[in-house]
Amino acid sequence: MSQQSAQYWRARKEWSAWVGKKGAVIASTMIYVGSPALSAQTPYPYVVVDFGEVKHSFMGVGHEALQPGNVVECVWRKIDAVAPHEVIMYGIKVKKCAEGVVDSETYLAPKQEQFSAEMETPSATTYR
């Protein structure tokens, strides 16, 4: 059973909680070759953002590279290129804020070390 666009977005209310949230980029890269669905948007930035209580990864808006320390805000944006007769898919992306960057000495360096340690910690999940 397919859902109408309005039903789809109403069923995913957790997405709307991200809109307007601001955080600091702690890791970033530029994607030059993406999946076929996203190839029209390449190159695009892909970042890990620290919101204080949680870290989350997002696609950036446009083609501007984002750097660790940049302050970003979550916004609704079109996710992929579609034909005129198709439903336009939207999702959460991040855009650079006018505030610039956070102080890397007091904020960013400890966060990057913590993030690196978390990524190196083996998962507690056991696969059989």
Residues near 91 by Cβ (< 8 Å), separated by ≥ 6?
15, 59, 76, 77, 79
Task: Measure Cα distances from 128 to 19, 122, 125 in Å.
Answer: 39, 16, 10
The ranges assigned to domains in the chain are 5-120
pTM for the full predicted model: 0.66
- Residue 54 in 3-state DSSP? coil
Could you identify the residue written with the tokens 């960057």? Answer: 101
What pLDDT digit, counting tens, does each position of 11-57 carry?
767 777 888 999 999 999 999 987 887 777 889 899 999 999 899 99
